[in-house]
């Protein structure tokens, strides 16, 4: 059932690893709303959008069924739930890896060693597809939690789970074996909402803002003064200064150079820029870039 008040509804994780970044993304889009982990429902004051906060596992189905028009959920959950939704954009946060892991002392050397073995997981659908792709015939043991304990309880010979760091795996007497899925947070949409003119227009407006924030991520606006004759040298130092904005200064022979640079590049080259004649170097954050 699609919401009928004409406002867009987005569903995000209420309290967990995706919550903070999901809320931050919506705020970076200029949306103004109250949110706490107690909130189930947060209306935006300055956009026709309401935020619904639930368990991440239910998000794909809520969006598929039109309870919400949009959702933010990990690809791991999305893939597992096999919901019929449109994927609009990868969001660049919530990265994690679904992996096969085996007991520390295990002698398995490659995937084929899993033939005929038992693999414990809370991701049976994803694992089934992966095993079929690799022509491995193993028994999938569906678990609902504490997957990492399955080998020591002799419930399984291997597991398939989200492995954050090798360290956590090792603490449970396991070691990462073979990667199954690289995941990050995804923006998904209900297919009918995309086909409804009013909703689609709101989704488009929101997407422009989201893309703008993504474009701006990791970038800084760089301004400096330099003698005009130093320009070629400055451009050799920062290759991305291909089409900088160059403004003549009142002082003859001096120019102001403005450009967008990646923040990681900037710190490496700042001293070189100074040595090449740049002065009054200013770096400011960029909120959004609309192309």
Q: In the complex, what is the shortest distance from the CB of residue 13 to Zn ion, in angstroms, rounded to a whole number?
A: 8
State the SS3 of the chain: CCCCCCCEEEEEECCCCCHHHHHHHHHHCCCCCCCCCCCCEEECCCCCEEEEEECHHHHHHHHHCCCCCEEEEEHHHHHHHCCCCEEEEECCCCCEEEEEEEECCCCCCCHHHHCCCEEEECCHHHHHHHHHHCCCCCEEEECCCCHHHCCCCCCCCEEEEECCCHHHHHHCCEEEEEEEEEECEEEEECHHHHHCHHHHHHHHHHHHHHHHHHHHCCEEEEEEEEEHHHHHHHHHHCCCCCCCEEEECCCCCEEEEEEEEEHHHHHHHHHHHHHCCCEEEEEEECCCCCC
Q: In the complex, what is the shortest distance from the CB of residue 250 to ligand ATP, in angstroms, rounded to a whole number?
A: 52
- List the single partner that 13 binds among ligand ATP, Zn ion, none, CB under 5 to 8 Å by kind: ligand ATP
- List the single partner that 183 binds among ligand ATP, Zn ion, none, CB under 5 to 8 Å by kind: ligand ATP
Choose one: 11-19, 203-211, 228-236, 261-269; the region binding ligand ATP (CB under 6 A): 11-19
Q: Does 57 bind ligand ATP (CB under 6 A)?
A: yes
Order of all β-strands in the sheet with 279-285: 245-248, 254-262, 219-227, 279-285
Q: Does 56 bind ligand ATP (CB under 6 A)?
A: yes
State which of residues 50, 56, 69, 80 lies at the interface with Zn ion (CB under 5 A): 56
Q: Does 77 bind ligand ATP (CB under 6 A)?
A: yes
- List the single partner that 2 binds among ligand ATP, Zn ion, none, CB under 5 to 8 Å by kind: none
- Residue 71, both tokens: 């959702």
Q: In the complex, what is the shortest distance from the CB of residue 71 to ligand ATP, in angstroms, rounded to a whole number?
A: 12
Q: Does 287 bind Zn ion (CB under 5 A)?
A: no
Between 60 and 151, CB nearer to Zn ion: 60
Order of all β-strands in the sheet with 118-121: 139-142, 118-121, 158-162, 96-103, 174-183
Q: In the complex, what is the shortest distance from the CB of residue 76 to ligand ATP, in angstroms, rounded to a whole number?
A: 5
Choose one: 50-58, 104-112, 242-250, 261-269; the region binding ligand ATP (CB under 6 A): 50-58
Q: Does 94 bind ligand ATP (CB under 6 A)?
A: yes
Query: Buried (b) or exposed (e) across 5-40, using 16+ Cβ within 10 A?
Result: eebbbbbbbbeebbbebbbebbebbebebebeeeee
Residue nearest ligand ATP by beta-carbon distance: 74
Between 52 and 203, CB nearer to Zn ion: 52
- List the single partner that 175 binds among ligand ATP, Zn ion, none, CB under 5 to 8 Å by kind: none
Q: Does 164 bind ligand ATP (CB under 6 A)?
A: yes
Residues in 57-86 at the binding interface with Zn ion, rule: CB under 5 A: 57
Between 76 and 193, CB nearer to ligand ATP: 76
State which of residues 42, 122, 172, 183 lies at the interface with ligand ATP (CB under 6 A): 183
Give the total of residues touching ligand ATP (CB under 6 A). Answer: 15
Chain residues binding ligand ATP by CB under 6 A are 13, 16-18, 55-57, 74, 76-77, 94, 96, 162, 164, 183
């Amino acid at each position: 059932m699609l919401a009928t008040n004409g406002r867009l509804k987005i569903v995000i994780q209420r309290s967990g690893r995706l919550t903070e970044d999901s809320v931050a993304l919506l705020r970076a889009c200029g949306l103004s709303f109250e949110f706490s982990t107690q909130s189930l429902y947060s209306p935006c004051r300055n956009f026709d959008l309401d935020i619904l906060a639930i368990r991440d596992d239910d998000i794909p189905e809520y969006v598929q069924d039109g309870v919400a028009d949009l959702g933010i959920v990990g690809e791991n959950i999305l893939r597992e739930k096999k919901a019929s939704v449109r994927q609009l954009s990868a969001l660049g946060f919530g990265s994690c890896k679904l992996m096969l892991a085996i007991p520390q002392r295990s002698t398995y050397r490659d995937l084929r060693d899993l033939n005929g073995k038992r693999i414990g997981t809370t991701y049976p659908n994803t694992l089934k597809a992966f095993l079929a792709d690799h022509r491995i015939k193993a028994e999938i043991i569906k678990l609902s939690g504490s997957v990492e304990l399955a080998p020591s309880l002799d419930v399984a010979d291997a597991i398939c789970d989200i492995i954050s760091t090798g360290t956590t795996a090792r603490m449970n007497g396991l070691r990462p074996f073979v990667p199954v899925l690289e995941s990050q947070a995804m923006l998904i949409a209900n297919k009918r909402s995309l086909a409804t003119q009013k909703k689609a227009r709101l989704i488009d407006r929101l997407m422009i803002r989201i893309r703008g924030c993504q474009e701006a991520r990791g970038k800084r606006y760089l301004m400096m003064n330099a003698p005009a004759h130093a320009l070629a040298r400055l451009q050799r130092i920062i290759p991305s200064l291909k089409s900088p904005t160059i403004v003549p200064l009142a002082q003859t022979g001096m120019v102001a150079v403005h450009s967008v640079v990646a923040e990681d590049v900037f710190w490496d080259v700042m001293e070189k820029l100074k040595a090449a004649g740049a002065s009054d170097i200013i770096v400011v954050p960029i909120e959004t870039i609309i192309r």
